[in-house]
Amino acid sequence: MTSVVISGISGRFPQSNDVEDFYRKLLNKESTVTEFFRGEFGENDSPLSSFPASKLQSITKFDQTFFSIHSRIAHVLDPLIRCFIEPCFEAILDAGVNPKSLAGTNTSVYTNSCISDDESLGCDERLTTNFWLLAHVRCLLANRIAYLFDLKGPSFTIDNSWTGGIEVLKQAVNDIASGRVDSAIVGVSSLLLNPNLNALFQELNRLSPDGKTRSFDQEANGYVRSEGIVALFLQRSDVALRSYGEVVAVDSIFHGSLDRPLVGFNGTNLNEFFTEFYRRAGVDPSQVEFLEADGSGVKSLDSLELSLISQLFGKSRRSPLKLGSVKSNMGHSEGASSLISLVKALMALNTSVIAPNINFETPNPHLDQKTIQVVTEPTPLSGDLVAVNSLSLTGSVAHILLRRHPENASQATKEEAGKKKRPYPRLVLVSSRTQDGIARIVEKVS
């Protein structure tokens, strides 16, 4: 089977407008929980209308002219969709592909979206327009992208709770490997607009009362809600111009069981899932050096996940498994969370440095510190295999195994390559509508 690589990445993250800035914040052990959130559409007398949150820097900036979207549609476009368009364009460029060259190609678009706060406005006659359906139907998260780039492959949006990002990634990997499509755009989008939804999460005892997500900690008491958007571009390895990582294996499953609540998990079934995952992948779990776990900060879920990790990854290890969760820095981005975790794992592979957890002081009793090490400082990554784990709201679990690209096999190899001088200069062309835009691009490429 043809190997599939992730060749382009882009996104919008709390307090960061690109992947590099986001990872820099993680390496610096910064928290993106910056303010108390108030609803975008008016005040609410409930005390739950104000709560700690990790928010994007802006959800209103959008170049509608560049994408030829009618102003009346752009004005009412669901922010989930509007904020997703530019990252898709950037992810394709990041892969070294001209977005215009994809027109008419067999390229698919698969997206996951769980909750759209903005959809509730459709019931308000004062805010609804004739363009509302063309701006808010959930399938448009994928269909709008396929239309803008004139793509001819499959295009759909699913709702698979927090694990949906890996679920659509699985679809893309399988379709590219089988030849059903030539390439794929995969993405997730999650925004916080309606403060009333916070009360529903509070009823599930999921939210941290003090604004800190303490992944794997004895004092874990819930998570902070967060926003996030991720767009990935996937291709076959033999045609990709770059590779952030090869997808060795990816799978997800729902473990329905009437002997537990809908939002609970069956530990025995999960253990069977992970064991079978690595058996089919032909990989010994002890070879995985770093696991970006779910680490939601909900103590019961963390305890379950840590027990499973110990059973699967703790055997026959030469060194402890390095463990992390980006939720400690930014909270839980819900429908976008699985791919934000994936972005962190890919950046670890490509920088050879694992970003640390924060808010970790007293280990959860289920953490076997002999075989598992929670990363609390920037830590070198020398191995070539990393994994990402995701647990959903309602019993689904998803897992992905990634391999470093051969050209980035080790830090030593990268340093050696950097010593080699090119026999010719490289010409880099940049363009922008403003001088400030040119300056930012030049600073980034230099």
pLDDT digits (tens, 9 = 90+) for 51-71: 789 999 989 889 999 999 988
- Report yes or no on 17 lying in a domain: yes
DSSP lists the bridge partners of residue 401 as 249, 387
- Report yes or no on 159 lying in a domain: yes
pLDDT category at 417 given cuts 50, 70, 90 is very low
Check residue 165 and give left, alpha or beta (phi > 0: left; psi -120 to 50: alpha): alpha
250-270 pLDDT, tens digit per residue, is 999 987 677 777 777 888 889
Q: Does residue 415 carry a pLDDT above 70?
A: no
CB pairs under 8 A, 24+ apart, for 145-149?
A: 145/84, 145/85, 145/88, 145/109, 145/111, 145/185, 145/187, 146/109, 148/67, 148/68, 148/69, 148/85, 149/88, 149/92, 149/99, 149/102, 149/103, 149/107
Q: Does residue 126 carry a pLDDT above 50?
A: no
Is the dihedral angle over the CA atoms 357, 358, 362, 365 positive or is it negative?
negative
- Report yes or no on 246 lying in a domain: yes
Domain of residue 317 covers 4-412
- Report yes or no on 434 lying in a domain: no
286-325 pLDDT, tens digit per residue, is 999 999 999 999 999 999 999 999 999 999 899 999 999 9
Is the dihedral angle over the CA atoms 436, 442, 444, 446 positive or is it negative?
negative
Q: What is the chain's mean pLDDT, rounded?
A: 88
pLDDT category at 40 given cuts 50, 70, 90 is very low
Query: Using CA atoms, how far apart are residues 220 and 223, in angstroms rounded to an integer?
Result: 8
Q: Does residue 416 carry a pLDDT above 70?
A: no
Query: Using CA atoms, how far apart are residues 188 and 83, in angstroms rounded to an integer?
Result: 11
Residue 251 DSSP label: E
3-class secondary structure, 98: coil
3-class secondary structure, 138: coil
Are 375 and 357 spatial neighbours (Cβ–Cβ below 8 Å)? yes
pLDDT category at 390 given cuts 50, 70, 90 is very high
Query: Which residues, at least 6 apart from 344, have a Cβ–Cβ distance to it below 8 Å?
Result: 23, 26, 292, 324, 326, 355
Phi then psi dihedrals of residue 254, to 5 deg:
-105, 125
- Report yes or no on 369 lying in a domain: yes
Query: Using CA atoms, how far apart are residues 69 and 14, in angstroms rounded to an integer?
Result: 26
Q: Does residue 359 carry a pLDDT above 70?
A: yes
CATH number at residue 243: 3.40.47.10
Q: Between 417 and 164, name the one with better pLDDT.
A: 164
Query: Using CA atoms, how far apart are residues 401 and 289, in angstroms rounded to an integer?
Result: 11
Q: Does residue 210 carry a pLDDT above 80?
A: yes
Query: Using CA atoms, how far apart are residues 190 and 28, in angstroms rounded to an integer?
Result: 25
Q: Between 342 and 257, name the one with better pLDDT.
A: 342
39-43, 61-65, 87-91, 390-394: least confident range: 39-43
Among the listed residues 96, 54, 59, 91, the one whose alpha carbon sits nearest the alpha carbon of residue 78: 59
- Report yes or no on 288 lying in a domain: yes
* Helix, strand, coil abundance in the chain, percent, nearest 5: 35, 20, 45
Q: Does residue 49 carry a pLDDT above 80?
A: no
Mean pLDDT, range 390-398, rounded to an integer: 92
> Edge-to-edge strands of the sheet including 35-37?
35-37, 51-54, 225-226
pLDDT category at 397 given cuts 50, 70, 90 is very high
Q: Between 196 and 290, name the one with better pLDDT.
A: 290
CA angle 303, 308, 314 (to 5 degrees): 115
Instruction: Give how many domains the chain has, as a whole number.
Output: 1
- β-strand 183-190 against 228-236: which pairing, if any? antiparallel
- Report yes or no on 350 lying in a domain: yes
pTM of the predicted protein model: 0.91
pLDDT category at 413 given cuts 50, 70, 90 is very low
- Report yes or no on 188 lying in a domain: yes
Query: Using CA atoms, how far apart are residues 389 and 278, in angstroms rounded to an integer?
Result: 13
- Return the HEC string of 66-85: CCCCCHHHHHHCCHHHHHHH
Tally of CB atoms within 10 A around 61:
10
